[in-house]
Amino acid sequence: MLSIWCLDWPIVAARAQEPSLEGVPVAVLVRSRILAASTEARNVGVISGLRRREAEARCPGIEIREADPSSEARAFEVVARCIETLTPRIEIERPGILSFPTRGPSRYFGGDESLVAAVLAALKTAGVEEARVGIADGVFAARLAARSSIVVPRNATPEFLAPWSVVHLGEPNLSGVLMRLGIRTLGDFGALPVGSVVARFGAQGLEAHRLSIGEERYPPALSTPPADLVESCVIDPPSNRVDEAAFIGKTLADRLLERLAALGLACTRVVIACETEHGESLERCWRHEGALTPATLATRVRWQLDGWLTESGGLSGGLTLLRLIPDEVIPAGGSQLGFWGGDQAGADRASRVFARVQGMLGPDSVVTAVEQGGRTPIERVRWVTWGEPRLVDFRGEGGKHRGTGMRGAGASGGHINAESWPGAVPGPAPARVFDPPYSAQLLDSKSRPVLVNARGDVSSTPAILKSAALPGQGGEVSAWAGPWAQDVRWWDPLGERRVLWHVVVGDVACLVRVEHGRATLDAIYD
Amino acid sequence: MRTYVRYPREVESLRDLSITPISESPLPPKRDALRLSQVVEVARGSGSLLSSKDRSIEVSGPLRALVPRLQRGIVAVVDGEPGHGSTTLALQFGAAVSALGEWISILDPEGSLSGLALLEAGIVAERCAVVRRVPTDRWALVVASLLDGVSLVIADAPPRLRAADARRLIARARERAALLVITGPWPAEASLRMRAEGGEWVGLGDGSGSLERRDVRARLETRRGIEHAEISSIAHAG
């Protein structure tokens, strides 16, 4: 197998979307941790896993963006299309990593080295600056080989893998135990007898053992999927919109995996195919470590459709047919339903209804709240479209909300530390937040607007608050606190300085913001 | 051969016995009294008995002062002036049902509901979908579909809702045994009407302190009459 690893793909995708980021230190965040950083930022010590503040401290002027897997997938479609000119059998693992079998192509190009050269040349034409290519037996070994741009000769894969650390197996629980047992490298782990590994670590251990001795994760005798397992849907009228098509893709994914599950099968590789009104037909293969779940499959379908429909040089017309073909299936390992509060029937009923409402009003109209860090009540919650993973996770283990419905099942985004947000508004959350805010007037006892200077000094104390959103158009202030001054992006000349006040008028408490000398009503404690 | 225990006096009820101090009886039947007091202890700790047909919801949290049990399949209306606590009260209904592990949905046509308040009320976000941007002409349709799938729907009613639509929704809620909590005007009858009447905020002074909490005065109107209570507006789960 040959594996291509495009370095820092999130950064490349972010720059493709915003050309102004070229040459500027950039980092991409997932859950306020750095996922990837550009070379400029890395040179001054911004590494992945840092908190946002630390990154900003180490590299002032760094541009930080939220990770956007769908735009990464869209940008990666260009790369996939150009590698497709060399070989038809490519498999995308996730945006940035792609692999294909080499036997045919390397014979055609005259050896592994010349194949690598051809791939690198093709990547250059696609505009990918930094990419590494590795060849080895098996996808796992090829991916490790790509890290150091190595072509491992045939049958030398076990020796190549031996010095790598067990951490690279990608199973933190297993590798943690192995490290404590003193088994630090894949070579040590591979040297253990298979029987003992299975006895101690079960099926998961067996898979890891197979990887560490240079074999595929699953034995080669994979069952061939029965022909009638293909799920397809005719789209009439033809659709040009990604969300519409993705919605159909989601139902197809649910149906396909349900039928596979009825046969006791799980899918590890799926081909997404489509046809357009102009007779074009495209297909692309996606692979997943482990088995695809409905949520992960639906996400991949969405990414792929996004790539086809929005990227230039993709499809010329609307989609008329969408098809999902299971390409590689394995016996399903089975999954245990949640023990605590796992009312599966209720969950299914609810998700069906939410899907119906999404069909009526558009997918973005049904959302769920995810807590995140921030200073104002609006900033502290992110609304995620129902059905998308609650956490941005590149391995695609998201979508935890579907199953058990357990409270705090790791899906609530972990603990959010309030201390890391100085100037955050204390106290309970207001029940109504207004975006955009209502206009308001915060006046002192002499009817002059209350202002705050650059040092945070207050011109006078608030006495009257007027706003159309308040009962009786507002009135005299009975209690107040503040100001909480927040410098947002202080290093940026366009950054704003805003000041928040708690103001109580009669029985109504509200949150008032003063910015550029103008007051607005941001929230009401209703 | 069986041994008989002779009780010193007539035992009328469990409660009666548990009050009687063991030492008062001249010959205490030690083991049995101990067992009986344990039984009483267990009975006191557990909730009230529930027959399998009775599917009403036992309300936990601050709302309990006013509504100890909620019948399924009814419509409750919560209203009040902006800022007087009606949203908080409505979210408390959601928290009560969400705490049972059931699914709920909130209809927020204006998109002004704060997600943080939802989480602070104790609603489990994984089991709560918020529907936003609902056009007024499809409002009733969306509420009807949601009632099919979840145990409770909290919905902001549009200003000019037709009485016929409202009555259809009442029938749908009863049929599906789902609770419908309406905030805003409701042009039909409701089993339970609650009005938030505001309350004084605690913790905030003239330029000092910060908002801590308030007790919302709430007026409950049911078929049986009118009740008043003060409900603490900040209620973290548990």
Q: How far is A338 from chain B (nearest CA, A)?
A: 12
Token representation of residue A241 = 């919109």
Token representation of residue B153 = 């729907």
- pLDDT for the residue A89: 83
Residues 494-523 of A with CB under 8 A from B: 502, 504, 506-510, 523
Instruction: Identify the DSSP state of A92.
Output: E
Residues 107-166 of B with CB under 8 A from A: 111-120, 124-135, 138, 141-142, 145-146, 148-151
- pLDDT for the residue B28: 52
Distance CA B59, CA B56 (A): 9
- pLDDT for the residue A416: 55
- pLDDT for the residue A339: 45
**Burial grade of A497 (CB within 10 A; 0-12, 13-18, 19 or more):** middle
Domain segments of chain B as ranges: 14-45, 57-200+207-232
Are residues A429 and B120, on separate chains, in Cβ contact within 8 Å? Answer: yes
Residue A375's φ and ψ, nearest 5 degrees, are -105, -40
B193 touches chain A (CB under 8 A): no
Apex CA A289: angle with CA A283 and CA A292, to 5°? 65
Distance CA A382, CA A30 (A): 13
pLDDT tens-place string over residues B81-125 = 888 889 988 998 999 888 888 899 999 988 899 998 998 888 988
Query: Mapping DSSP to helix (H, G, I), strand (E, B) and coil, where does residue B39 land?
Result: helix
Q: Are A458 and A526 in contact (CB under 8 A)?
A: no
Chain A residues in contact with B233 by the CB 8 A cut-off are 428, 525
CA B152 to each of CA A348, A430, A479, B127: distance values in angstroms, whole numbers, following the listed order: 16, 22, 37, 11
**Which CATH class for the B57-200+207-232 domain?**
alpha beta
Are residues B83 and A353, on separate chains, in Cβ contact within 8 Å? Answer: no
**Mean pLDDT over all residues of chain A?**
81
- pLDDT for the residue A391: 67
With CA atoms as reference, the chain B residue closest to A484 would be: B210
Tokens 């007087």 belong to residue: B84
Distance CA B69, CA B159 (A): 30
Token representation of residue A267 = 């899918």
Establish whether the linkage from the previous residue to A436 is cis, with ω within 30° of 0: yes
Long-range contacts of A48-51 (CB under 8 A, 24+ apart): A51/A420
- The region, left, alpha or beta by phi > 0 then psi within -120 to 50, assigned to residue A49 is left
In this prediction the ipTM stands at: 0.76
- pLDDT for the residue A402: 36
- Digitized pLDDT (tens) for each residue of chain A, 526 residues in all: 888 988 888 888 888 888 888 888 888 888 778 888 888 888 888 888 888 888 888 888 888 888 888 888 888 888 888 888 888 888 888 888 888 888 888 889 888 889 999 999 988 888 887 888 999 988 889 989 998 888 998 888 889 999 999 888 888 888 888 989 898 999 999 999 989 988 888 878 888 898 888 887 776 555 566 667 888 888 888 888 888 888 888 888 888 888 888 887 888 888 888 888 888 888 888 887 767 878 788 888 888 888 888 776 667 788 888 888 888 787 765 444 444 445 667 787 888 888 888 888 887 889 999 888 788 888 888 888 887 777 654 333 333 333 333 333 333 344 455 556 777 788 888 889 988 889 888 888 888 888 877 776 778 888 888 888 888 888 888 888 878 877 766 666 655 677 888 888 888 888 888 887 788 898 998 8
Distance CA A233, CA A322 (A): 5
pLDDT tens-place string over residues B217-230 = 888 888 888 888 87
How distant is the alpha carbon of residue A503 from its chain centre? 39
Which ranges of A59-213 would DSSP assign to H, the alpha helix? Answer: 69-83, 103-109, 112-125, 139-147, 157-161, 172-180, 186-191, 194-212
Instruction: Identify the DSSP state of A223.
Output: B
- pLDDT for the residue B212: 81
Query: Mapping DSSP to helix (H, G, I), strand (E, B) and coil, where does residue A385 land?
Result: strand
Query: Mapping DSSP to helix (H, G, I), strand (E, B) and coil, where does residue A255 land?
Result: helix
Chain B residues in contact with A411 by the CB 8 A cut-off are 126
Are residues B133 and A346, on separate chains, in Cβ contact within 8 Å? Answer: no
Token representation of residue B204 = 């905030």
Token representation of residue A256 = 């396909």
Nearest to B129 among A368, A461, A471 (CB): A368
